[in-house]
Structure 1
Amino acid sequence: MLSVVLGDAQDRFPDVLRRASECMLLVFGLDVKEVDPGEHTYALVPILGLTWDGVLSGHELSLPKTGLLVIVLGVILLQGDRAPEEVVWGALGSLGLCVGSEHCIYGEPRALLTQACVQEGYLEYRQVPHSDPARYEFLWGPRAHAETSRLQVLEHLFGVRGRGSRSCPSPAEEAVSEEEEGP
């Protein structure tokens, strides 16, 4: 790979790998882990302990979709454990994801979130009680609660934004205390 991709610039491999790893993390929700430093062997691991990578679409393989799921889990968390549908779509719209539009990686985002992620147990999508006209909200599903934590998602979000959890202590401290107290 070094000779094919980098040619004579093999000394730049660490920088190229770092940048590619950041993209894999953000877009696909996959972390690049070094398995064997001597052999320069790496593995792709879903982030935050999530076991679903969203690669099966019917009977066809597709690209991993864990990155989008993590963003939505973060939006829900930052909205106080329930995110109105319009807030979720507003956040995803700023990333270029629109309801009804096919995305080259995620497919149709509404179907992915309201069907696949709900069916897999990562999200709950429900009508807000007593709303007229009907409004909907997203919540963490039981599988998200079982596989990851508020603290892990917050740390990931702060890392993505280029800030450590120390620069925003109040949400992180709140998540830690909630994790220690339980649901």
Structure 2
Amino acid sequence: MADETQLMFSQEEQTVSKQSKVLCQLSAEEISKIVVDLVRYLLIMSQKKLPIKRSDINKTVLGDKSRGFDHFIEMAKERLSLVFGMELIELELNSKSYILLSEFQDHPYLNCYSAGKTECSLLMIILSFIFMNGNVISDNQLYDCLRRIGIDIEFHHEVFGDVENKLKKDYVRQGYVEYSRVVGAEPVQHEFKWGLRARKELSKLKVLDFVAKIYGEEDPSNWTSQWEQANAENAPNES
């Protein structure tokens, strides 16, 4: 029994060592891209309502980085939950097959009432980009930011649907976002700001906490200017 236990720990140590070696060879930007690609793949495959096999993930997404699977899948799980309101679960222990489920509980940062966590997550992403860009962001800048995390407003999204319609119509009508033309700009430009409802309902400290989790930062105060602004403001929802 002791020999079996020792062998088990030895195998685990070897696995961790191999993963660490893979990760050490990658930059933070490369790791982030792999996670974005992995999340996009999981979202697309989930539409088929069939189990997603680890072997397919390795073949299609990770390739020669497959030794870092456990690390990448954990990062993808966190982003799927936080950003998309989805939960990735393994069908059975060591089955190496996964399914993606919607999480219907309330969003931890924003009260969207009956809209659901997924809808709130998209809104939270957009409001975060606006705040982190200095409380105003051009339409093209915002679209670029969204594309970097796998959301292209020109295409129907697997989870969020018609993002452009939500952004320019639904969220504007609900008072979460202000969308206006930049006066005097040539060619014509538009910009986004927080709407009145967002300013009343959402604490910017919570936005920083949300952003920190997405980027794997432990300390939101690393974004100095946003941290100072968030603390200086009297946020209604701050507890």
- Taking structure 1 as the reference length, the TM-score comes to 0.69
**d(CA) in 1 for partners of 2:168 and 2:86?**
19
Alignment partner of 2:110 out of 38, 46, 49: 49
Alignment partner of 2:177 out of 123, 126, 133: 123
Deviations 1:112-171 (A, max 9, x none): 100111111111111111112210011001111111111110111112211122560513
- Look up the equivalent residue of 1:44 and give its one-letter code: Q
Report the counterpart of residue 225 of structure 2 in structure 1. Answer: 171
**Deviation at residue 94 of structure 1 after TM alignment:** 1.1
Report the counterpart of residue 23 of structure 1 in structure 2. Answer: 80
Secondary structure at 1:100's aligned position in 2?
coil
Deviations 1:45-104 (A, max 9, x none): 12313234645xxxxxxx832111111111111111101111100011112222321111
Secondary structure at 2:151's aligned position in 1?
coil
After superposing on structure 2, the runs of 4+ consecutive aligned residues of structure 1 that deviate more than 4 Å are 19-22
- Look up the equivalent residue of 1:147 and give its one-letter code: E
Report the counterpart of residue 97 of structure 1 in structure 2. Answer: 151
Matches within 5 A, 1:13-162: 23-28=80-85, 44-52=105-113, 54=115, 64-162=118-216
**d(CA) in 2 for partners of 1:118 and 1:27?**
21
Relative to structure 1, the CA distance from residue 171 to residue 108 in structure 2 (aligned partners, 3 Å threshold; closer, same or farther) is same
Which structure: greater helix fraction? 2
Structure 2: 5+ residue runs without aligned partners? 1-75, 88-102
Taking only the aligned residue pairs, the percentage that are identical comes to: 23
Note if contact 2:209-2:220 (Cα within 8 Å) is conserved in structure 1.
no
Secondary structure at 2:140's aligned position in 1?
helix
**d(CA) in 2 for partners of 1:167 and 1:176?**
10
**d(CA) in 2 for partners of 1:92 and 1:173?**
23
**d(CA) in 2 for partners of 1:68 and 1:96?**
12
Relative to structure 1, the CA distance from residue 45 to residue 118 in structure 2 (aligned partners, 3 Å threshold; closer, same or farther) is same
**How many residues are treated as equivalent by the alignment?**
149
Q: Which has the larger radius of gyration?
A: 2
Moved more, 92-101 or 117-126: 92-101
Which structure: greater strand fraction? 1
- Look up the equivalent residue of 2:184 and give its one-letter code: H
- Look up the equivalent residue of 1:113 and give its one-letter code: L
- Taking structure 2 as the reference length, the TM-score comes to 0.54
